[in-house]
Amino acid sequence: MPDETTLGARIRRIRQERKLTQEQLAERAGVGSEMLSKTEQGRRYPRLPVLMRIATALDVPLSELVDTHPRLNGAQEGASVLALRDALLSPAVITGLGLGDTAEAMAAGDLQAATDDMGLHTGRGTSRA
């Protein structure tokens, strides 16, 4: 499992997932490639406006760069209260529900219906045969 404990490691992982070189990301973000390289190595810590430009260039929310709490789609093992909160407030993060980019909170009954449509048993009511 890759090291996700540093800002630089998270930037590197996302950059590589996007198949970008450091030079390409630096150009998109409007920052120097040397600064980006030092950031990925943990030798430099950019200020917030620079981090915002990097996040925008990577097409991720700033929180994905700076937040170390595990998410449902994160590389860290185990779930957390934040991952559960994400799922409840934005069920679109749960793959397979076919909710697209829905960012709205979903009523419990609607979420139950979506999981039932997938054939998932949530432990409520009678079990399926």
Q: Quote the CA–CA distance of 70 and 91 in Å, as a whole number.
A: 16
Is the pTM of the predicted complex or chain greater than 0.75? no
Q: Show the CA angle centred on residue 1, arms to residues 84 and 76, nearest 5°.
A: 15
Give residue for tokens 């093992």: 77
pLDDT of residue 111: 58
Give the model confidence (pLDDT) of 20-71 as tens digits.
999 999 999 999 999 999 999 999 999 999 999 999 999 998 888 887 765 5
Residue 100's region, left for phi above 0, alpha for psi from -120 to 50, else beta, is left
Of 62-66, 82-86, 110-114, 124-128, least confident by mean pLDDT is 124-128
Structural domains in the chain, CATH included, are 7-66 (1.10.260.40), 69-129 (no CATH)
pLDDT of residue 5: 78
CB atoms within 10 A of CB 67: 13
Give the model confidence (pLDDT) of 85-112 as tens digits.
665 666 555 555 555 555 455 566 665 6
